[in-house]
Chains A and B, each alone.
Chain A
Amino acid sequence: MFSKVIIAEDQDDINQGVYIALCDLGISEIEQTQYCDDTFVKVKRAAMDGRPYELLITDLFFKEDHRYQKYTSGDSLANALKKEYPDMKTIVYSVEDRFQKVRSIMIPGDIDAYVCKGRKGLDELKEAICKVYEGESYLSPQVRAAMSPKADTEINDYDITIIKQLALGLSQPEISRYMEQEGISPYSLSSVEKRINKLKDIFRAKNPAHLVAIAKDMGLV
């Protein structure tokens, strides 16, 4: 498990919660900071001292006050640190659960985990720390869909063609042959089969007939 962790969080009570969670995981050295700039300096100092932090847990939003801050948000801090210390892991811990924000933070690939503050936030944080320690990434369940692959949500003309042929009563091998004739690839039976299964998932359909019924309802075919 990580031994040296730094937390950037301006809310004392939350700090307290995170601290307890980290203690539960048996992390010995926990540094808490209230300002992004302080965090930056401390990480730098530790690295110069030859004892770098292994993990940064940061909030995204920091209330502005009288102190001028070079880094005003958690993601700008994380990005700056990642450039200098690529080995240090980063977990964002935030109330922010809008997908567009999550996507904008996670897509560049610098952040290892995104945990939403919520009823189960601390449990998810613990899980995230474990995953990140093992070199994996983690997303809280409520924002996981934000990063789901495109194929899960977007259908294209190929999909519509398959559903149309299903609606016409063609079997899967017949669809495969049809695709081959029309010069549409991939047309192999296995890819058609795979695609139909995927479409059943997407349309929450129990079987191909159900899929056609829903697609018809939606006016797709």
Chain B
Amino acid sequence: MKLFKNSFPFLFIFLLCFCTQNSYAIQQPADSLLYYYPIINQPTNHTDLSDAFTYFEKKRKESLREKDTLNAIFYARYVAEVQNKLGFLYESEVTTIEALKLLDLAGGKDTLIEPRIGLYNHLGMLCRQRHDYDKALYYYNNSLNIAITEEHRYAVWNNMANVYKDQRKYDKAIVELEKVYGYAIQSKNDIILSRSLNNLGVVQAKLGLSEGLSNMEKALALRKKINYIPGIITSYTHLIDYYLDNGRREKAAALAEEARKVAYSSNNPKWRSHVLSRIIDLKEDPDVLAFKKYTDSVSNADLMQRNKYISAKYNFEAQERRARESELQRVKERSRRIVFQFVLLFIILISFLVYRYLRIRQKRKILQEVSASEARISRKMHDEIANDMYRVMTNLQTRHQLSGEILDDLDDIYSRTRDISREIQTPESGKDYADILKGLLLQFRTEKVNIILNGLSGISWDSVKEDKKRMLYKILQELMVNMRKHSEASVVLLQFRRSGKNVLVEYKDNGKGCDLGKGSGLTNAETRMKLVGGTISFVSEPGEGFRAKIII
């Protein structure tokens, strides 16, 4: 079923020729199509064309909805044709160009040459109607480039010759018409042959070539032979025009009488009026001539106006479309620019962050290395040097019975060695951090100074990062060493509190304080604290004790 439906338009020609019955599914649309197709060429009343338009447009939209591209193109061509017939040149062009776009999307160029040529020819015709000859020739050349059969080329050559005729470029028209004639001879179709011969003759005559008249007469003879009435009448009118142009009025009048006989015998009012119009042209009656002149000028003016209207409308619509397109382009460009700016900003931001991250990581790494080597030195000093010193001391004490003075000196060196070691020691990780801190702080408790802790046991340290804990340990140690060396405090209070994700540590002593402006050894504590994402601030005045606030 689906297959039948998709290929339906192409089956149509086939159906038209043989009118055989197929399945029920295609019968109904086939009826409508068979009804509307001839209407395009021969409308019988004033609503026919608009009905046909409604029908084909509906089918086109249906096909588009169903993503049936081939059918959409098929119906678009009819829509464009009806639009052209109705005088909607611009709309017709839009429809045609949309169909062309669909064709491009459909791909498979080789198999879709016929509709493409048809669309180009239609565009060329539309351009010719609004006297845009260059564009018309452009489209016809496009057709010619993809044409594969002689039949295609024949139609295009004819079209091009018509454009040249309009432009009064008869020499160029002749070139095309000779090609058409060449094809016509091969076609062995007398109608085609006579038509091409006549067309060629008319243009040749316009250029004053002698073959012109003989070719036109040959064409008339051929048409008479096959009794092709429309052709005979056309030939007569062209010959009449020729003789009139050359001032041979009697010959023209004689031909007009011949033409009248043919036209009256045909019983076709169209031909009769055609011939009569020529006969009137030949009358010498001043009233008739005046009437003819005025009607011609009126209809010419109508035509001019219509053409002007069409081209104005076309220009307006085209301008509007260009404006819309450029607006669209502008919006697109702007959004592209915004996206670009965003991307740029994003890249800058990211690279800045990456740079910062790498820098911090580098610093942390250095910090870790420093603390690792400090720990190593501290342990070596403590475990080896201090131990050895003690060994020497014991040795001197037990074996040599030295005076207490030397031993006291040695003891002093011994304890100072250990102090240095202690100052650069780092805590062991993994153990109960609160206990480690407590051990550190209580070490500084002496007879003279008491260390008071508040809130330390209540803090859970598991969520605090290892490097932060290590840094806090070192900073507190430095504070305590500072306190012991300089403060002469009797009470030190250390308060620990949680504040959100962070731990807040406040150090206070009642010592003599110091002038922070002088720059104590604690200044680089701020930098080191920042490295692990913490802060430290000091408050002190001489005589006011010392305070530090750490957030980590």
Spell out A's residues near B (CB within 8 Å). 11-14, 16-17, 20, 61, 63, 95-104, 117-119, 121-122, 145-146, 148, 150, 153-156, 160, 202-204, 214, 217-220
- The reply to whether A145 and B390 contact each other, CB–CB distance below 8 Å, is no
Bound Cα distance A96, B428 (Å): 14
Number of residues on chain B facing chain A (CB within 8 A): 49
Asked if B445 lies at the interface with its beta carbon under 8 angstroms from chain A, I say: yes
**Residues of chain A with a CB closer than 8 A to B414's CB:** 118-119
- The reply to whether B398 and A20 contact each other, CB–CB distance below 8 Å, is yes
Bound Cα distance A185, B211 (Å): 135
- The reply to whether B394 and A98 contact each other, CB–CB distance below 8 Å, is no
State whether A95 and B387 are in contact (beta carbons under 8 Å apart), knowing that A17-B397, A204-B490 are contacts in the complex.
yes
Asked if B98 lies at the interface with its beta carbon under 8 angstroms from chain A, I say: no
Q: 13 A-B pairs, CB-CB below 8 angstroms?
A: A11-B388, A13-B392, A13-B398, A16-B399, A146-B439, A153-B445, A153-B450, A153-B453, A156-B454, A203-B452, A203-B491, A218-B491, A219-B547
State whether A103 and B435 are in contact (beta carbons under 8 Å apart), knowing that A13-B394, A14-B391, A145-B442 are contacts in the complex.
yes
Residue-wise interface mask of B (389-431) relative to A, using a CB-CB cutoff of 8 A (1 in contact, 0 not)? 0111111011100000001100100110010001001011001
State whether A218 and B453 are in contact (beta carbons under 8 Å apart), knowing that A96-B382, A98-B439, A103-B439 are contacts in the complex.
no
- The reply to whether B491 and A99 contact each other, CB–CB distance below 8 Å, is no
**Residues of chain B with a CB closer than 8 A to A217's CB:** 510, 545
State whether A219 and B508 are in contact (beta carbons under 8 Å apart), knowing that A13-B395, A146-B442, A150-B457 are contacts in the complex.
yes
CB of A218, distance to nearest CB on chain B (Å): 4
Select A118's contact among B391, B415, B440, B445, beta carbons within 8 Å: B415
- The reply to whether B407 and A13 contact each other, CB–CB distance below 8 Å, is no
Apart from A98-B425, A103-B435, A119-B414, list 13 A-B contacts with CB within 8 A. Answer: A11-B388, A13-B398, A14-B390, A98-B439, A99-B439, A118-B414, A119-B393, A119-B408, A122-B398, A150-B457, A153-B453, A160-B454, A214-B491
Residue-wise interface mask of B (335-347) relative to A, using a CB-CB cutoff of 8 A (1 in contact, 0 not)? 0000000000000
Bound Cα distance A14, B443 (Å): 26
- The reply to whether B427 and A100 contact each other, CB–CB distance below 8 Å, is yes
Closest residue of chain A to B450, judged by CB? A204
State whether A100 and B439 are in contact (beta carbons under 8 Å apart), knowing that A61-B387, A218-B508 are contacts in the complex.
yes
Bound Cα distance A16, B393 (Å): 12
State whether A155 and B387 are in contact (beta carbons under 8 Å apart), knowing that A100-B427, A103-B439, A218-B510 are contacts in the complex.
no
State whether A63 and B384 are in contact (beta carbons under 8 Å apart), knowing that A100-B435, A155-B454, A217-B510 are contacts in the complex.
yes
Which residues of B, 121-160, contact A by the 8 Å Cβ criterion? none
CB of B497, distance to nearest CB on chain A (Å): 12
Select B411's contact among A61, A63, A119, A203, beta carbons within 8 Å: A119
State whether A99 and B394 are in contact (beta carbons under 8 Å apart), knowing that A119-B408, A214-B491 are contacts in the complex.
no
Bound Cα distance A17, B395 (Å): 7
